[in-house]
Each structure stands twice: as structure tokens, then as C-alpha cells.
Structure 1
Amino acid sequence: MKLKVIIVDDERLALRRMEKLLEEQIEVEVSLDLIGTFVNSYDALEAARREPLHLAFLDIEMPEIDGFELANRLLEIQPQLQIVFTTAHQEYAVKAFEMNALDYLLKPVNQSRLAITLQRAAVSAARTTEIITETDNIKLCLLKNIHYIDTYGAVQSFPWKTLKACELFAYLVYHHDNTVNKQTLIDLLWPDQDIERSTTQLHTAIYQIRKIIKEIDLIYLELKYKDGGYSFVLGELKLDVEEWESRVRQAPDVTSDTLDQHLSIMSLYSGDFLEEHRYIWAEYEQERIRLIWLNHMKQIAECYSSLEQYTEAMLLYQKIVERMPYVEDGYFGLMKIYSILNHQLEVRKQYQIISNKLQEEFEVTPSKELTEWYHEWSNNM
């Protein structure tokens, strides 16, 4: 493959030397396409906005925007861009590799050392191309907890170093394709800190997210900075909660003929939206998704019941009770089946359980519909 390259250095002689080294590079079988050489960082950013790039050679000590800041801005535009820092000063090496740079070259750069860098870049670019062909299986997941499904269909967790980076990631994924203002994020995640410290914390978390995305090769997931805020662009990646909801809404009515299809959809629901993280901001969405799940489960259970497959129906109603213990639907469904099977004690038991729960938690009695059904049933006993 051909690597698309840019060089940025505020010294024209250094710029010309690196260009000449690349033109003369024959020690490795790497085809290069030099997109541009720039003494101005802003021109380099414009080039990155115009077309995809594979590799950027950046001088570190430059006016206005130094190499580290330029690298951050370039990665905001193209997260998979490989960065190589060039400098005459050894002391920048640690910071360069903290930024997950591909390499760090000391000036004056020689051909043999440059050959090693280009070989690394070629291997990395080839790996990225390979991953693109496998990405159909990759899925971001917010049901139950934050995780992802890799190209082999295996469940993988993210190696978060801080809880705030994890929460920021979840929030931006949930609001994907929408720019969230920096101040909104600060108010959400660091409300009690001063503006300088909270801004630093935000930038640190953003850096962690970018680094992790790169490490685990989520190449379609793009974190953008625009208009004073951040946004995630999912690209070809699927989000489990959206995929599940879409399947539920597009599915035909639950009947004996479509039951298997609905059971397959039901199996995709691994847990409530971000339930293990207990984020306050996620509570509304969690409840909305749970109600869709509840309605779907009830339809499947009612189908089983109509087919006189009472054991299967009871198992689903029991799942409703376990997941939503203060909602009547699960208990009511069980009561109806127990009445059909003439299990009178179980009918009374379920009614007593939900009555006690509602009284203890909300100081209310069961709904009029449930109460009237129960009294009518009792009178007919």
C-alpha cells in the first residue's frame, strides 16, 4: 500500500532535509505519497481536513502551535493518523511516547533509523486496513455495562484508568453525532472543582479515551472537537442498545409463527442501560429502554400463554418480576396463569407480594384493574 505523508517543521532547511530523506528511502519496500510539507501548523491541519493521511512527521519546537499540540489537533481530525516526532532534544522523548507516538527521531535523522520508522508505519497501516475489513462484527455496548464486541465476537472490557474517563466515554457515545459543549461536560463530571482544574481533568480524560480507542483498534470510532465541544462519530460501528430497540420496533406482531424471531431479539437484551454504572444522567434513558423491554416481554409471555405453554410464560413473567419488582405486570401475569392452573394459594401470594411492595415503597395500593380482577377471582372461588 502507499503511505500518505506530511512533514511539518518551522525550519525550511530541516523540512527540505526530511523531504529528501523520504525521497531517497530505498532500504524498505514502502511506497510513499508526500501530500505536503508545511512550515505552518495551520496549513497542516487544513491538509488533514482535505484527505486521509497515514503518517505525519512533526517537529516539536514550533511557534504558536508546538508539535505536541499539533499532534492532538491532527488526531482530532484523523484518529488513526500515525505521529512521528522529530527534534534535536532528547528530553521530549518521554512525553512523545506518552502521547502514543509511533516513533521519536532525533535530528539529524539518518536513513537507517528512518527506515525502521517507515517499516513500523507500514505494518501499522496494513493492520488498520485489515481491521477495516473485519469491523462488521465490532459493536459498542451500553446494555448492562460499558464494553465492546471484538471482531471475533468476544466480549471485551475497556482498560479504563479512571472512572471519569469511563463515564465521559459513555456520555459521548450515548450522545453520538451531537457536539457536547465542554462546559456541559465539566458541569456534569467535575461540578465541584475550579475551572482550571476541571478543564485539565477533561483534557486528561479525552486523552485517555483517544489512547484507548487507538490501542484496541476501534478505527471507525472518531472523537471530534468542534465549536467548543466534543462528539463521537460511530461510523460503521453498531451500538447494542440502538440495534436492539430498532429490532423490537421493526419486528412483526408476536405470533406462533414469529415467536422464534422475538426470542432471538429478547436474547440481545443483556441488561438495563448502563445499570452497573449507576450514572444519574442515564436514569431517564434506562427507564425508557426498560419499558420497551417490559412491553416486549409481556407480548411474548402472552403469546406463550395463548398457546397454553404456561411454563414458558411463567418464566418470562418471573423475569419481569426480578427486573422490575415494583411494577405490577409480572405479578399480574403470574396470577392469571396460576388461576388457569387452579393454584389458588399462588394467586393470593402474588397479590400479597405486590400489595406489600407498593405499600412499603410508595404507600399506594395496587391498580384498579388488578384489584378488580383479584376481587372478581376471589368471589368466584
Structure 2
Amino acid sequence: MKVIIVDDERLALRRMEKLLEEQSDVNVPISLIGSYQDPYAALETAQREKLDMAFLDIQMTEMDGLELAERLLSIQPQLHIVFVTAYQEYAVKAFEMNALDYLLKPVHHRRLAVTLQRVAESALKSPAHLPSTAKATLCCLQSLHYLDHQGNVRYFPWKTLKAQELFAYLVHYRDKTVSKQILIDLLWPDYDTDRSRTQLHTAIYQIRKMIKSIGFNLEIKYKDEGYRLVWGDVKLDVEEWENHVRHAPEVTAETLEQHLTIMALYTGDFLEEHPYLWAEYEQERIRLLWLNHVKQIAEYYVATEQYTEAILTYQKIREKVPGMEDGYFGLMKLYAMQNHQGEVSKQYQLISTKLKEEFDVAPSKEITDWYQQWKKDCQRRQG
């Protein structure tokens, strides 16, 4: 294993060098590529030399270990990072990771041997023996989860909610660089500068670990004081669904099953189970696409006199978008065609109450005029 050490204290560097020289319990030989007090020198080495492992002191004056880790990983994503710190509370609280990810000063021989052995075993695993995830799907409809290459639903074991939200945000803005300051303002607006940067670096590190452990073909790049989630061959459910909708043919007897399949793929709104304010615009955009698509199916049912299916479809619309008139108005027209006068009035009252309670407005002129004209026609027939 090719290893580097970075610590701005000369004595700490010498001690780690000596400990590595004394390691004889690891099956894989260790090659110390360099020891650096200057983190920028370590970055230069990473640019020209393939590395397996880096021991980084967390608290350094020139550049802290968290930021250095980000920069190193942007150059070599598969690099194993081991943080070294004199503060146990800081390490446990900041990373919430297992013993593989940080060492406490003073580092002891046995403790280092355990870390080296674990990293060696991980590094030696052949990619051919890892499960294939070429057809894995990342899911954002309803909740953030994924389908493995066999189609099984899997949930991410996030250690913090902030790491989960940060990952969701980067997925939404995939292949675009988002500045560190935007992320800090979004997720840690009340923290001081040092603490917010620490939290951001920690969350990014957790996400990188998560991506690596799952085997997703995704990569977080650090450049120009920002992060970019580089997308690989992983499918994204909301993107797949939207492409199906936009390229679907007109609803006919021959294409109805195709449209019903597309409708079934919509398992919930974009990140519906996560209360992210920044996601609300995308939720609304995707929801309106769903509404327009399902209305086409409902209108086809009406045109072909499949009234039971039409009613069920408009009820689905009403349940999904209860603050919009489409579902109620569709049901009103259907019930009027079937002479269910009580149901027509019920739907009008339901939408009137809903709009009053949520937006303090009355139903639109179109639906109100239609309803008033329908009442007059009913009275005329009864008279």
C-alpha cells in the first residue's frame, strides 16, 4: 500500500513514520511515499502518484484535514482517508464513523495495525468480485432510496439528516457545481464559519463513503470552491419517469396500457417524505406533469364512455392535488352526465371549502359558471 502522512507538527510526523516502519502484522507491504507538514505538497504528490491511503491530522494551520481530504478525494476518489486527532470527543461527534476512519493521538502500535489490516483487506478486494450495480436506480419519488441491480428496495443508512439532505440537493443539481457557501447557507446558516465548514466537509465525506460502499457510479468532485456530483450510469427514477411521459404517444386503445404503466411508475411526489423547502418548486413542476398526464387518461375514459374508470381516475387526481380544481371539476361533469345531482353539489362544496381554507379564494369563474348553469338546467328540467 502506498501511504502518505500529513501533519503540521514535525514530531507527530516522525512518530507516525516510526510506527509504520514497525508494522509487520499487515500482509501487504507498506510503502511510505511521503511525509508532509505542507498540505499543498501532499496534493502535488497525489497529482502524480497513485496512492492507497493517507493519514491526515485534522487540526492544521495551513489547511485543516477535512478540506485536505476533500481535495485529495477529488483527485483520487478511491483513496482511503484516516484522520488523526488528539481530541476523542471531536472525532466521535464530527464523524460518527467506525474505528477505521480516525486514530486518536498518541497513536498506538496495535491500534494502527488494526486500521492497516482493515484498509488492506478493503483495498485488495477485486472489483470483479463486487456485486454489479450497472442497472441500479436511485429513487427520489416519494422518498430518497435506491433499487439494487436485482430490483430490491434499499434505504441509505445515513448517520445524519444533513448528510442525507446534502446528497439529495447534489442529486437534484447533478453535473452542476454548487458553491460551498450556498451549501453552508442552506444547511448550516446559524453556525460560525469554522463549525459550518467542518460540518460540510464531514457530510461530504459521509456521502463519499456511502457512494463507495454501495458501488454507485457517482463521484463528488471538488473544484472552484464548490462541489459537483458527476453522474455515471445510475438510473434516476424521476428522470426516467419524466422521459416516459414526454415521449409517450397519444392515449388510444392501443397505447392505454403503456400510459397506465407510466402512471404506476409515479410512486409519489419528488422527495415527498422529506421536508426540504428547496425541493418545493421541483415537487410542483413534477406534480403538474403527472396531473397533465393522468388527465389525458381520464379524458380518454370519458370519450370512450368508460365512466367507472374515469371516476376512479379523477378521484385519484383529487387525492393527489386536493388544492386544485381539476379532479373535482372532472367528477362534477361525470356525475352530471349520470344525473347524480347530489354528488355534483358535493364536489362543488368540497372544492369551495378547500380553496377557502387554504387560499381564502373562491372557485374559478369557469367552474362557478358551469355549476350555476348546471343548477339552472336542473331546475328547468324539474319545472
TM-score class, shorter-chain normalisation, is 0.7 to 0.9
Q: Secondary structure at the match of 1:159?
A: coil
236, 240, 247: which one aligns with 1:239:
236
C-alpha contact (below 8 Å) 1:165/1:206 kept by paired residues: yes
The residue identity in structure 1 corresponding to 2:180 is K
Offset at residue 72 of structure 1 (A): 4.5
**For the structure 1 residues 328 and 120, does the alpha-carbon distance in structure 2 shift closer, same or farther, using more than 3 Å as the test?**
same
* Candidates 70, 73, 77, aligned match of 2:71: 73
Take 1:157 and 1:114, find their aligned partners in 2: how far apart are those partners? 27
Aligned-residue offset at 1:333: 1.0
CA distance in 1 between partners of 2:162 and 2:76 (Å): 24
Q: Does 1:210 align with 2:208?
A: yes
Q: Which residue of 2 aligns with 1:120?
A: 121
SS of the residue aligned with 2:329? helix
After TM superposition, the structure 1 = structure 2 runs for residues 176-325 of structure 1, keeping only pairs within 5 Å, are 176-214=174-212, 216-325=213-322
- 1:364 aligned to 2:361? yes
List per-residue Cα deviations over 1:186-211 (Å, max 9, x = no partner).
11112122222222222222222223
Question: 2:370 corresponds to which residue?
Answer: 373
Report the equivalent of 1:147: 145
In the superposition, relative to structure 1, how do residues 363 and 97 fare at CA in structure 2: closer, same or farther (>3 Å)? closer
Post-superposition CA distance 1:113-171 (Å, at most 9, x none): 99967961465x32x4454x722331112211211112221111111222222211111
Are 1:8 and 2:9 counterparts? no
CA positional deviation for 1:249: 0.8
The TM-score normalised by the length of structure 2 is: 0.76
Alignment of 1:51-62 (within 5 A): 55-56=52-53
Unaligned runs of 5+ in 2: 379-383
Cα separation, 2, equivalents of 1:115 and 1:272: 45
Match of 2:311, as an amino acid?
M
More divergent stretch after superposition (314-323 vs 366-375):
366-375
Contact 1:137 1:151 in 2 (8 A): yes
- For 1:310, give the aligned amino acid: Y
Structure 1 residues 194 and 99: CA distance shift in structure 2, 3 A: same
Report the CA distance shift for 1:114/1:272 in structure 2 as closer, same or farther (over 3 A): closer
For each residue in 1:302-324, what CA deviation from the matched residue of structure 2 results, as whole angstroms up to 9, or x when unmatched?
Answer: 11222222222211211111121
Identity, % of aligned pairs?
55
Q: What's the C-alpha RMSD, in Å, of the aligned pairs? A: 4.2
Contact 2:96/2:159 (8 A) holds in 1: no
TM-score by length of 1: 0.77
When residues 353 and 60 of structure 1 are mapped into structure 2, their CA distance, relative to the original with a 3 A threshold, is closer
Offset at residue 296 of structure 1 (A): 0.8
Instruction: Give the corresponding residue for 2:164.
Output: 166
Amino acid in structure 1 at the alignment position of 2:233: E
Q: Which residue of 1 aligns with 2:381?
A: none
Secondary structure, in 3 states, of the residue corresponding to 1:76? helix
Secondary structure (helix, strand or coil) at the match of 1:148 reads strand
The alignment of Structure 1 onto Structure 2 pairs a total of residues equal to 361
